[in-house]
Chain A
Amino acid sequence: MAIINVSIPFRLIKQIEDYSRIVNEILKHNISFNILKFSTTSSGINLLLEVPEDKTKEITETLRSNDIQVDKKGRVILDEDKCIHCGSCISLCPTDALHFTNKDKVEFYGNKCIGCLICQDACPRGAISESK
């Protein structure tokens, strides 16, 4: 599954129905997907979606033709040479993708990562970066 970040700029939101526009556009394609995160900020509505890898292109094109911005998000990468196993990232990870092993080493499960990137600026060794 791929992660995409979808957003409608605030200026395009005129009425309450616009909030469901993103979801409705994708539903038209009969694709199952996961909403990882939904947020409204001063810049607009943002959704973090997990979609099937092979459908990413189709979804991106539909959404873009409806003035909705889409960019593909990376998950994080843990550079094990830089990591000093402190754990500054672990309490921040909402899915336990970053966790301690039973030997108290920091371990990263890429398939659990939802690309929220909350951990990225918390690593004091710069060991966490976003995959491209």
Chain B
Amino acid sequence: MTKTYKEINQKIKSGDAVVVTAEEMIDIVEESGSKVAAEEVDVVTTGTFGPMCSSGAFLNFGHSDPPIKFDHLWLNEVHAYHGNAAVDCYLGVTRKLDKRPYEYGGGNVIEELVSGKEIRLRGISDTTDCYPLSEVDTYITIDDLNQAILCNPRNVYQKYDVAVNSTDRTLYTYMGKLLPNFGNAHYSGSGCLNPLANDPDFETIGIGTRIFLGGGVGYIIGHGTQHNPKNGMGTLFVKGNLKQMSPEYLRGVNYEKYGTSMFCGVGIPIPILNEGIAKKTAIKDEEITTEIVDYGIPRRDRPVLGKTNYKDLKKGFININGKEIKCSSMSSLYYARKIANELKEWIEEGKFLLNHPAESLPTDTEFHPMRQTSEIEFVKDLKREAVICYHDCDIKVVAEKIINQNINHIIITDRHNKLKGIVTSFDITKAVANNEKKLNDIITKKVITTTDNEPVDVATRRMKKHEISALPVIDDKNNVVGIISAEELM
């Protein structure tokens, strides 16, 4: 039994189409089998609502009098990209407000635009013979714009990694706040409601597919950047008219100590053309597996600590080596379901028709890492030999070494080269002032360290964060193998 787009659309127009959400389809296929489901159901709707950083909007302001060709422009003081014609721009959702980077950004501006609020437009120009105006400072609303087009090069990840943190400090990441020592876990995505999970072979989702985007109608205009279907991580490039979207489904968000983004609501209808597609749209949460990744290791290839699936994730716990860890989502399942239901209503009411894609999406694209022609530096490349004192030596010996070797940091070890602490020239000064006699009383014992194979930028960031100027370099057995200090990094 097969159906065509035309037949399905005729049913939609006459109000006879049977439309269910991807969650509802699971029960239908389970109870009646995929053959019956393919006959009975015409469309399955999907939905997702999460932070989608590769999003933004093309805006056209119309010409001023006298005309201006922007060199730089800001919307509510958020810098927009201007590398287009005179009064066009692209406002990206991750662009931060310079003065309050974790509080406001491009995503918030788009939400406010869609809400109908007035937005300050400020722009400057070098001026030309044809564009003599040097400055614009005005207020606009979305109605004043000629075009406002949401255009997102990468949305709707098929699934995403689960983030945990193995380090002893809290991390603020694009996967939210991650507590130390595997204190929590964050995941993203709607699992069985996810659009691409319901059409993993791109049999119906393709270029030109009409979709729910931000509460309005949008289109898929290609595969998204970093599209990686071989690994079950396909993405979509989408666009739509911002003017008919809703602020309920475009929400600016700001992550502390990370930056800004926007939640974007996307829903995609899957026409049930045959039994095979019916079967695929009955995918369950437990069939969508994903990897648990340690965000404590700030490298491209972060260690994978295990596997889980969306059923367990939605229950709120994952398991790493027998330890149960509380997890929650970064994206909203409540809104994902709401989007799938809203799209279902649109189709049931005959307001939204399905269409055959103009072209299929690639299924063999790979996601390559960056080619880096300049080598990155590691701690082992810049470290120097550490000046060491034993933990039971006299303060005076330490002081002498500081003077004789003209250094600021002395590493304290035991007789077997195991790290015991660190002493700075300031600690010695303080000891003299306070009449401290024992080395053991003045050493810093909880030492922040680095390792040979850590990139220098990671070590530098740690020093800045802890407001210190040197890190002992240790091996995996706590043996001191060097020191790296601010002087080497300058």
**Which residues of A are at the interface with B, using a C-beta cutoff of 8 A?**
84-92, 100, 103-105, 118, 121-122, 124-126
B416: shortest Cβ distance to chain A, in Å? 29
B465: shortest Cβ distance to chain A, in Å? 15
Residue of B nearest to A125 (CB): B253
**Chain B residues, CB < 8 A from A125:** 251, 253-254
**Chain A residues, CB < 8 A from B261:** 124
A13: shortest Cβ distance to chain B, in Å? 15
Contact with A along B323-362 (1 / 0, CB 8 A): 0001111111111010000000000000000000000000
| Most chain A C-beta atoms within 10 Å of own C-beta, residue among B49, B255, B329 | B329
- Given A122-B176, A126-B254, A86 contacting B337 (CB threshold 8 A): no
A20: shortest Cβ distance to chain B, in Å? 24
A130: shortest Cβ distance to chain B, in Å? 15
Q: Is the beta-carbon distance between A87 and B184 smaller than 8 angstroms? A: no
Partner of B337, one of A88, A89, A104, A122: A104
**Chain B residues, CB < 8 A from A84:** 49, 251, 253, 263, 332, 335
Q: Is the beta-carbon distance between A124 and B253 smaller than 8 angstroms? A: yes
Decide if the interface of chain B is mainly helix, strand, loop or mixed.
Answer: strand
B65: shortest Cβ distance to chain A, in Å? 40
Q: Given contacts A88-B176, A118-B179, A124-B176, list 10 more A-B pairs with CB under 8 A.
A: A84-B332, A85-B334, A86-B329, A86-B330, A87-B328, A88-B328, A90-B326, A104-B334, A104-B337, A124-B253
Could you pull out 7 A-B pairs where Cβ atoms are within 8 angstroms?
A: A86-B331, A90-B326, A100-B328, A104-B337, A118-B177, A122-B256, A126-B103
- Given A122-B256, A124-B51, A88 contacting B177 (CB threshold 8 A): yes
Q: Is the beta-carbon distance between B185 and A85 smaller than 8 angstroms? A: no
**Chain A residues, CB < 8 A from B177:** 88, 92, 118, 121-122
CA distance A121 to B51 in the complex (A): 17
Q: Is the beta-carbon distance between B332 and A90 smaller than 8 angstroms? A: no
Partner of B333, one of A89, A104, A122: A104
CA distance A118 to B330 in the complex (A): 16
**Chain A residues, CB < 8 A from B216:** none
* B50 contacts partner chain A, Cβ-Cβ < 8 Å: yes
Q: Is the beta-carbon distance between B256 and A85 smaller than 8 angstroms? A: no
Q: Is the beta-carbon distance between B251 and A91 smaller than 8 angstroms? A: no
Number of A-B contacts (CB under 8 A): 70
CA distance A100 to B327 in the complex (A): 12
| Most chain A C-beta atoms within 10 Å of own C-beta, residue among B49, B253, B328 | B328
- Given A86-B50, A87-B329, A91-B184, A103 contacting B334 (CB threshold 8 A): yes
Q: Is the beta-carbon distance between B253 and A90 smaller than 8 angstroms? A: no
B333: shortest Cβ distance to chain A, in Å? 4
Q: Is the beta-carbon distance between A86 and B332 smaller than 8 angstroms? A: yes
Chain B interface size band reads: 20 to 34
**6 A-B pairs with the lowest CB-CB distances in the bound complex, closest first:** A124-B253, A90-B328, A91-B184, A91-B328, A122-B177, A87-B328
CA distance A104 to B251 in the complex (A): 18
B140: shortest Cβ distance to chain A, in Å? 25
A114: shortest Cβ distance to chain B, in Å? 16
Q: Is the beta-carbon distance between B254 and A88 smaller than 8 angstroms? A: no
B137: shortest Cβ distance to chain A, in Å? 28
Residue of B nearest to A89 (CB): B328
**Chain B residues, CB < 8 A from A121:** 177, 256-257
CA distance A126 to B335 in the complex (A): 18
**Chain A residues, CB < 8 A from B327:** 91
CA distance A84 to B51 in the complex (A): 11
* B316 contacts partner chain A, Cβ-Cβ < 8 Å: yes
Contact with A along B219-260 (1 / 0, CB 8 A): 000000000000000000000000000000001011111000
CA distance A103 to B213 in the complex (A): 23
CA distance A89 to B51 in the complex (A): 15
CA distance A91 to B163 in the complex (A): 12
Residue of A nearest to B337 (CB): A104
**Chain A residues, CB < 8 A from B79:** none
CA distance A91 to B185 in the complex (A): 7
**Chain B residues, CB < 8 A from A122:** 176-177, 256
CA distance A32 to B256 in the complex (A): 38
Q: Is the beta-carbon distance between A87 and B332 smaller than 8 angstroms? A: yes
* B186 contacts partner chain A, Cβ-Cβ < 8 Å: yes
**Chain A residues, CB < 8 A from B186:** 88, 91
Q: Is the beta-carbon distance between A92 and B179 smaller than 8 angstroms? A: yes
Q: Is the beta-carbon distance between A91 and B335 smaller than 8 angstroms? A: no
CA distance A86 to B263 in the complex (A): 10
CA distance A84 to B333 in the complex (A): 10
CA distance A65 to B234 in the complex (A): 64
Residue of B nearest to A103 (CB): B334
**Chain B residues, CB < 8 A from A92:** 177, 179, 184
A124: shortest Cβ distance to chain B, in Å? 4
Contact with A along B147-191 (1 / 0, CB 8 A): 000000000000000000000000000001101000011100000
**Chain A residues, CB < 8 A from B335:** 84-85
| Most chain B C-beta atoms within 10 Å of own C-beta, residue among A84, A103, A118 | A84
Contact with A along B310-329 (1 / 0, CB 8 A): 00000010000000001111
**Chain A residues, CB < 8 A from B255:** 124
CA distance A89 to B256 in the complex (A): 12
**Chain B residues, CB < 8 A from A124:** 51, 176, 253-255, 261
CA distance A125 to B263 in the complex (A): 10
